[in-house]
Structure 1
Amino acid sequence: MSTVREADGTAASLRAAMVSELHEMGVLQSEAVAKAVATVPRHLFATEESLESAYAANKALVIKRDADGRALSSLSATHIQAVMLEQAEIEPGMRVLEVGSGGYNAALLVELVGDTGTVVTADIDAEIVERARGCLDAAGYDRVQVVLADAGSGVPEHAPFDRIMVTAAAWDIPPAWRDQISERGRIVVPLRMRGITRSVAFDRDGTGLVSASYRLCGFVPMQGNGAYAERVLPLGEGATLQLDDQRQTVDAEALAAAVHGPRLEVWSGAAFDLPDELELFLVSSTPQMVMLHGSKHLVDQGVLGLSVTRGVPALVAGGSFAYRTKRPNEETGGFESGVVAHGPEAQMVAARYVELLRRWASEHRRRGAARIRYVPLAEGAAEPAVGVVAKRFGGVEITWS
């Protein structure tokens, strides 16, 4: 447990305000996680930041960037760290492995496992490991074991673990993680699936894993053996497609021409709500769903709709594509979902997309309707299909109730 005292009352006051904000947001569900967040001096893990930034509930702080300015390591927002800790349901005495070291989350884990528990945090970057060790020592958490390792292979010398907490976006679940969790083990991992990321709490399910919960999140990607680069195909200036499956083929030239062709809008008559749940439903509905990204410039020109600026699931068929949009409509509860389609088969691809929107609204429009299973398979054997996202070491099966 931490024995550090505040130099003045400012940090303690800001930390208490952050905890109150997290309570108001409904993030803190258990007394244990709330107490941990209220105890750990986050500012000692964000020494380059102001106290106000360190204790902003929804602010992620970049610790290290590459030569091109991309984030390599970050101190995640307390909001998402608390969400994942609630998903983990950590108990005193547990052995916990953290994949990705910032220091702060490991300190929270120490508060949760107590004096009889063990926390190991591993990172592939020696500079990050050194920094985490220094911050943890300064904050009074010298019990944390900080390890330099490619955590895609786990940390076998400290296994088994009751919990594995992954704090980087993982495209797959390495066999080592499954092998190194105990019988009561749980893996909480930000899992990439067709261009989106969800923090999934996986429990053992025979030889595989099954979700206990899932939440919206965003993280910097894993490095080392777990690294994976999704394909990005330009569709002319200002638009790109992001493809999860390296084997997937699309007619980029035809699609680029379709971007600036006629634009068809079709409205579903169905409510637009819970966009994160809808997004997961869409990407799991067909392997022909990819992510479309577009510039604000193309939106301002009226070429593409506003939803493309943050990335939107797009259904691709030949030289045509469709993506979701919305408009105000009080008759559907505030907003109505719709589709924008381009290309010679715009009507067909729009109709397929609209059918998905209607099915979502009528059958699955609520939180937690998805069940996510990870099925281990021989390397490279998984095939993408309806409800199946293929990975290197298995398949992610998503079903809806």
Structure 2
Amino acid sequence: MDTTVESTPPDRLRADLAAHLTAKGWTRTPAVERAFRSVSRHLFVPDTVSMEQAYADEIVATKRGLDGKTTSSVSAPWVQAFMLAEAGLKPGARVLEVGSGGYQAALIAELVGPDGLVVTVDIDADITRLARTYLDRAGYPHVQVVHGDGDLGHRPGAPYDAIIITMEAGDVSPFWVAQLAPDGRIVLPLRMRTLTRCLTLHRRYDHLAASRALQCGFVPMQGERSQLARRIPLRGNDIVLLLDDPVDVDADALASALDGPRLEVWSPVTITGDEPGAFESLHLWLSSQPRPFGALAVDRQRTEGLVDPQDRFTCPTLLGDGFAYLTMRKIGDNLWQFGAHGFGSDAHTLTTDLLDLTTAWDRDYRHAVTPEITVHPDGNTPPAATGQPQLVVARRHTTIAVTWPAPRAHR
């Protein structure tokens, strides 16, 4: 770490980060705040990272693949604080972390104390080697670092009071469920139809139920058991369609649709800059419809004038003979209007449907209404179909169900 031009000592930066996270409401408990005040984050990042960058509330990439994409990182402190608070860690707790960087394992060690157990597992030998080095130099030699497939958990340390997954997962491993204490929690970023939510899962009879769901983004899980979303390039890596459903699409036809005119339609539904949670709700609602669905990921600078999705990472997209995605435009000082852009021969139908769904969300689900998210292990029966909107995602080991309550007018 180059300190020749640093002006702020690390203990001050550490305290400032903890204060920032608390002011934003992420730490939620004095114990979590104390952990952030105690652990030196700059000891867990590459030496090329400046001290200020090390304590910024942002991710720090620690390894990249040949394509330049991040394959391992130190997560943003805000999401780490959220996950730690959700895990409900107490002194003496036993914790499994899947995805090793070292920093979060050190935070966990602060929370569970000398009588607790912390095991951190990663499939990448380079990452576990660095995690061991970082933890030793930061004063946490008692944290167990294991090189292995995190999807298998780590049976010698079970049962765990909490299992925290720090990579995007497409499924809930049966090994995690088997190694979880009866009243334990699994906190993980789970991808559901291209959209990732950080879920806090508890046992409920024969399945798991989420008590919290927060939109987030993580590096995808690696290994032969990973279930990744499909990436369909429409303009190289500048415009990519993400698909989770086991359906075939005509990639060439969708790419060719971009050569035609763009249909723009606008909705009466608006949003202010003070409603960040509304986007999470709307995205999940749009993905819950029983129709072909994907998400666009774009490079805004390289595609300016061609596409303008509301979210550049995972923008809800309806599919047919063409596609339509959610967009918005500014119409006031703090006011934006939702709309839809459509391409292809189905553009009119798809954009109309997208706006109708947005209107239904605004009317029935926008205000203080959240869906129930449950995870049903293989062999268990998911919730029976009801008249309520419901998304059912079948994975290799589980079935994930997102069930929306009946609209107030229908209750």
Give the TM-score of the pair, scaled to structure 2.
0.87
Contact 1:40 1:108 in 2 (8 A): yes
Once the 2 structures are TM-superposed, how far is the Cα of residue 346 of structure 1 from its aligned partner?
A: 2.0
**Alpha-carbon distance, 1:182 to partner:** 0.7
| 1:304 equivalent among 300, 303, 307 | 307
Residues 271, 361 of structure 1: 8 Å contact kept:
no
- Aligned-partner residue type, residue 341 of structure 1: G
- Which residue of structure 1 lines up, in the alignment, with residue 123 of structure 2? 124
CA distance in 1, matches of 2:181, 2:81: 23
Contact 2:96 2:119 in 1 (8 A): yes
1:172 is the counterpart of 2:175: no
Aligned residue among 316, 326, 333 for 1:313: 316
Name 1:4's counterpart in structure 2. Answer: none
Verify the 8 A CA contact 1:266 1:338 in the aligned structure 2. yes
Specify the alignment match of 2:74 in structure 1: 75
Mapped partners of 1:226, 1:366: distance in 2: 38
- Asked if 1:289 corresponds to 2:290, the answer is no
Contact 1:211-1:372 at 8 Å conserved across structures: yes
Name the aligned partner's letter for residue 174 of structure 2. P
How is 1:2-401 mapped onto 2 (pairs within 5 angstroms)? 10-48=9-47, 49-57=49-57, 59-236=58-235, 238-245=238-245, 247-272=246-271, 273=275, 274-296=278-300, 299-300=303-304, 302-307=305-310, 309-317=312-320, 319-329=321-331, 334-366=335-367, 369-378=370-379, 386-401=390-405
1:5 is aligned to none
SS of structure 2 residue aligned to 1:397: strand
Computed over aligned residues only, the root mean square deviation of the Cα atoms, in angstroms, reads: 2.5
Supply the AA of the counterpart residue of 1:339: A
How far residue 297 of structure 1 moved from its aligned partner, in angstroms, is 6.2
Measure, in 1, the Cα distance between the counterparts of 2:69 and 2:26.
28
Give the aligned residue type for 1:322.
A
Distance 2:368 2:50 in 1: 36
Once the two structures are TM-superposed, the CA of residue 163 in structure 1 deviates from its matched residue by 0.3
Call closer, same or farther: CA 1:132–1:236 in 2, change over 3 Å. closer
- Closer, same or farther: CA 115–234 of 1 in aligned 2, 3 Å: closer
Is the 1:271–1:336 contact (alpha carbons within 8 Å) kept by the matching residues of 2?
A: yes
Q: For residues 38 and 189 of structure 1, do their structure 2 counterparts lie closer, same or farther at Cα, with a shift above 3 Å needed?
A: same
Give the whole-Å Cα distance in 2 for the aligned partners of 1:47 and 1:323: 38
In 1, Cα distance between equivalents of 2:79 and 2:11 = 21
Structure 1 residues 158 and 310: alpha-carbon distance in aligned structure 2, compared to 1, 3 A threshold: closer
- Residue 251 and residue 335 in structure 1: after superposition, are their counterparts in 2 closer, same or farther (change >3 A)? same
Provide the secondary structure at the position in 2 that maps to 1:374: strand
- Is the partner of 2:19 in helix, strand or coil? helix
- CA distance, structure 1, for counterparts of residue 121 and residue 318 of structure 2: 39
- Three-state SS of the structure 2 residue aligned to 1:260 is coil
Letter in 1 for 2:316: P
Cα shift at 1:203:
0.6
Contact 1:295 1:308 in 2 (8 A): no
Q: Is the 8 A contact 2:390 2:404 kept in 1?
A: no
1:142-195 alpha-carbon deviations (Å, 9 max, x no partner): 221111221101111111111000011111111101111011111000111222
- Match for 1:70: what amino acid? K
Partner SS, residue 138 of structure 1: helix
Partner deviation per Cα, 1:187-244 (whole Å, 9 max, x = no partner): 0001112222211111112221110101122111111243233222233565332111
Structure 1: gaps spanning 5 or more residues = 1-7
- Shift in Å at residue 289 of structure 1? 1.3
Structure 2 unaligned regions, length at least 5: 1-6, 384-388, 406-411
Report the Cα distance in structure 1 between the residues aligned to 2:153 and 2:101, rounded to whole angstroms: 17
Q: What is the CA-CA distance between 1:330 and the residue it aligns to?
A: 5.3
Q: How many residue pairs align between the two structures?
A: 387
CA 1:249–1:259 in structure 2 vs 1: closer, same or farther (change >3 Å)?
Answer: same
Deviations 1:51-96 (A, max 9, x none): 2111112x21111222332222211121111111112111222110
C-alpha distance in structure 2 between counterparts of 1:309 and 1:46, whole Å? 27
Cα distance change, pair 364–330 in 1 and its aligned pair in 2 (3 A): farther
Instruction: State the distance in 2 between where 1:158 and 1:309 align.
Output: 40
CA deviations over 1:269-300 (Å, ceiling 9, x no partner): 11235223222222222351101234446743
Report the CA distance between 1:121 and its aligned residue: 0.9
CA positional deviation for 1:259 = 1.9
Q: Deviations over 1:246-271 (max 9, x none)?
A: x2122323322322223222222112
Q: Distance in 1 between matches of 2:332 and 2:45?
A: 45
Q: Which shifted more, 205-214 or 257-266?
A: 257-266
Pick which of 84-93 and 279-288 moved more: 279-288
Of all paired residues, the percent bearing the same amino acid is 39
Name the CA distance, whole Å, in 1 between partners of 2:29 and 2:368: 20
Instruction: Work out whether residues 260 and 303 of structure 1, in 8 Å CA contact, stay in contact via their aligned partners in 2.
Output: no
For 2:353 and 2:9, locate their aligned partners in 1 and report how far apart those are by CA, in whole Å. Answer: 56
Are the counterparts in 1 of residues 300 and 308 from structure 2 also a CA contact under 8 Å?
A: no
